[in-house]
Amino acid sequence: GNSVTQMEGPVTLSEEAFLTINCTYTATGYPSLFWYVQYPGEGLQLLLKATKADDKGSNKGFEATYRKETTSFHLEKGSVQVSDSAVYFCALSRSSSNTGKLIFGQGTTLQVKP
């Protein structure tokens, strides 16, 4: 069945460091791929998305490219800030089911130190 696997956290970085959070997936068909961010005590916010192979989603300095050949959607940012500290979730849509349901990875906690 469809699934999402994220790198385990926590990921601890110094401010201005380069960030990569790995996400790989298994899916039938052509799902949409998403990154959501969750700040402490809050709900999830959509960070970026990509809907077809080779699409690049970007927002707030974060980027991710839909790689069908490697079934990956890795999240990157060139220079992280303390305010980026949060939990990041990779997700995919169950495109074949027509229900709009999403499958989430387990989340990766990012801690950025000044």
Partner 1 sequence: DGGITQSPKYLFRKEGQNVTLSCEQNLNHDAMYWYRQDPGQGLRLIYYSQIVNDFQKGDIAEGYSVSREKKESFPLTVTSAQKNPTAFYLCASRTSRDRTDTQYFGPGTRLTVL
Contacting residue, 56, 60, 68, 101, with partner 1 by CB under 8 A: 101
40 makes contact with partner 1 (CB under 8 A): no
Angstrom distance (rounded) from CA 89 to CA 91: 6
| Stretch touching partner 1 by CB under 8 A, among 13-21, 61-69, 73-81, 104-112 | 104-112
Is the CB of 8 or the CB of 15 nearer to partner 1?
Answer: 8
DSSP-based three-state secondary structure for 70: coil
Angstrom distance (rounded) from CA 101 to CA 95: 8
Query: Between residue 80 and residue 99, which ones bind partner 1 under the rule CB under 8 A?
Result: 89, 93-95, 99
26 makes contact with partner 1 (CB under 8 A): no
| Stretch touching partner 1 by CB under 8 A, among 15-23, 59-67, 70-78, 103-111 | 103-111
Residue 33 gets the label, from left (phi > 0), alpha (psi -120 to 50) or beta, of beta
Count CB neighbours of 56 within 10 A. 10
